[in-house]
């Protein structure tokens, strides 16, 4: 007999899915059209409207979105893409799927985001794009990165996997603008259960450029010139053609139907997460040995993750274990691709300045439980347990 695992009483994350999503999945299943079709088209329209983008194209996950984005920009073998090592490994992997080399820039310790002041020195004649990351939902320094990229003639892809609902205020008018309304050229989102909205797995690309959007639509469906939805609805026989090498990165209509319901929950999810993050700030700021995350004045995170740093990296595992012993799950913060075995020498290049801060942050960051249905009482338990754990790890 295998033992049934006993889940911690407070998980680190939990998607908010209800009867509405179950009904939506049922609607798609009963319709008889289950893969990319009318529900995907509706989800794309509603997602584009939510973030204020001209175009949104759904794909099977954010890793696929990143791959499609880079391919649509023509990134290929021998090219370089400037990005962060300190991210989920999918960011750098997408560069390597194109046969290109990721060039890693260090991050800032307080935001976990790419240090924009190091980007220019990382550029070489092979650089084809900048792939910046809104790490854990915190907007990265678009106000510096985008103008720099424009000056250098490089496109910007935003890894916004975690950043649906995050906002920036970069213009003089003081308006808050959602991530995904074009700042760079393309933004890529994830609907994995660890993110704010989930379709099980899923992804979305947004852009202002209709030519890029058309390229995404070709690449996500085998490079097929006439999608099956169009052939299905046509009164005349149409043969499709395959002008480019594409992939099967479709989202299903079942997932899209769920995604449409998830989108309706977004304002409530973001509001609750911001309230919970403010409660963590208030409860943890006085703790010696713990540094809380900092949002720049021009950024509003959706708090996809709330990661604190412990002062001494050697105590991180012990602190996390103390919490787990009390039934509270935590996770480490973002990893560093360049420290993984899959990134042997030669598969990446480091920008001048090194990756010392990425390495320090990886050793010290702890993601605390944060999800829509986390109660104030459970959050207080986390705060109290963390206080005890850092006092004597």
Ligand X SMILES: *Cc1c(COP(=O)(O)O)cnc(C)c1O
Q: Known catalytic residues?
A: 195
61, 166, 206, 207: which one contacts ligand X (CB under 6 A)? 61
Contacts of 128 (CB under 8 A, 6+ apart): 73, 74, 75, 79, 80, 81, 100, 154, 155
Shortest CB 250 distance to ligand X, Å? 14
91 binds ligand X (CB under 6 A): yes
236, 213 in Cβ contact below 8 A? Answer: no
| Nearer to ligand X among residue 53 and residue 162 (C-beta) | 162
Q: Does 90 contact ligand X by CB under 6 A?
A: yes
In the shown chain, the binding pattern of residues 100 to 129 toward ligand X, with x for contact by CB under 6 A and - for none, equals ------------------------------
Does residue number 161 form part of the binding site for ligand X (CB under 6 A)? yes
Using CB under 6 A, which of the segments 30-38, 157-165, 268-276, 323-331 binds ligand X?
A: 157-165
Per-residue x/- marks for ligand X, 294-323, CB under 6 A? ------------------------------
Of 226, 238, 269, which is closest to residue 372 (Cα–Cα)?
269
Sort 107 into a burial class: Cβ within 10 Å, 0-12 / 13-18 / 19+.
buried
Indicate whether 87 belongs to the interface with ligand X (CB under 6 A): yes
Question: Under rule CB under 6 A, which residues in 129-148 are in contact with ligand X?
Answer: 133
Name the segment binding ligand X (CB under 6 A); options: 120-128, 156-164, 242-250, 258-266.
156-164
192 belongs to the binding site for ligand X (CB under 6 A): yes
Helices of type H across the chain: 19-31, 38-51, 62-72, 89-97, 119-122, 142-152, 210-220, 228-233, 253-284, 316-325, 356-364, 376-391
Query: Looking at beta carbons only, is 149 or 196 nearer to ligand X?
Result: 196
Distance CA 47, CA 127 (A): 31
Q: Is 224 in the site for ligand X (CB under 6 A)?
A: no
**Integer Cα distance of 204 and 202 in angstroms:** 7
Rounded to an integer, what distance in angstroms lies between the CA atom of residue 91 and that of residue 94? 6
Eight-class DSSP state of 343: S
Least Å distance between CB 366 and ligand X? 16
């Amino acid at each position: 007999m295998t033992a049934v695992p006993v889940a911690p009483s407070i998980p680190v994350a939990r998607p908010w899915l209800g009867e509405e999503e179950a009904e939506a999945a049922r609607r798609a299943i009963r319709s008889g059209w289950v893969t990319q079709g009318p529900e995907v088209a509706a989800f794309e329209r509603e997602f584009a409207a939510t973030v204020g983008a001209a175009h949104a194209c759904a794909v099977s996950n954010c890793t696929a979105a990143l791959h499609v984005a880079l391919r649509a920009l023509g990134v290929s073998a021998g090219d370089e893409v400037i990005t962060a090592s300190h991210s989920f490994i999918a960011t750098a992997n997408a560069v390597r799927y194109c046969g290109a080399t990721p060039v890693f820039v260090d991050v800032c310790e307080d935001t976990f985001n790419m240090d924009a002041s190091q980007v220019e020195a990382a550029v070489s004649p092979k650089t084809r794009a900048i792939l910046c990351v809104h790490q854990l939902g915190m907007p990265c320094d678009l106000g510096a990165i985008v103008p720099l990229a424009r000056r250098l003639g490089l496109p910007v892809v935003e890894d916004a996997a975690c950043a649906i609902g995050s906002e920036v205020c970069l213009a003089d008018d003081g308006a808050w603008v959602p991530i995904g309304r074009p700042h760079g050229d393309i933004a890529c989102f994830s609907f994995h259960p660890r993110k704010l909205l989930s379709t099980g797995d899923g992804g979305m690309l947004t852009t202002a450029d209709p030519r890029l959007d058309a390229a995404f639509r070709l690449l996500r469906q085998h490079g097929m010139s006439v999608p099956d939805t169009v052939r299905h609805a046509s009164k005349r026989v149409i043969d499709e053609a395959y002008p480019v090498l594409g992939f099967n990165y479709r989202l299903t209509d079942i997932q899209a139907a769920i995604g449409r319901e998830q989108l309706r929950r977004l304002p409530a999810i973001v509001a609750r997460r911001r309230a919970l993050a403010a409660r963590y700030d208030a409860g943890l700021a006085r703790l010696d040995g713990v540094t809380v995350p900092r949002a720049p004045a021009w950024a509003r995170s959706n708090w996809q993750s709330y990661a604190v740093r412990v002062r001494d990296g050697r105590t991180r595992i012990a602190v996390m274990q103390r919490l787990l012993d009390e039934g509270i799950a935590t996770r480490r913060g973002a990893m560093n691709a360049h420290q993984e075995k899959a990134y042997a020498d030669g598969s990446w290049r480091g920008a001048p300045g090194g990756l010392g801060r990425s390495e320090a942050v990886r050793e010290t960051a702890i993601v605390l439980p944060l999800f829509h249905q986390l109660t104030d009482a459970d959050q207080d338990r986390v705060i109290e347990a963390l206080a005890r754990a850092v006092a004597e790890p």
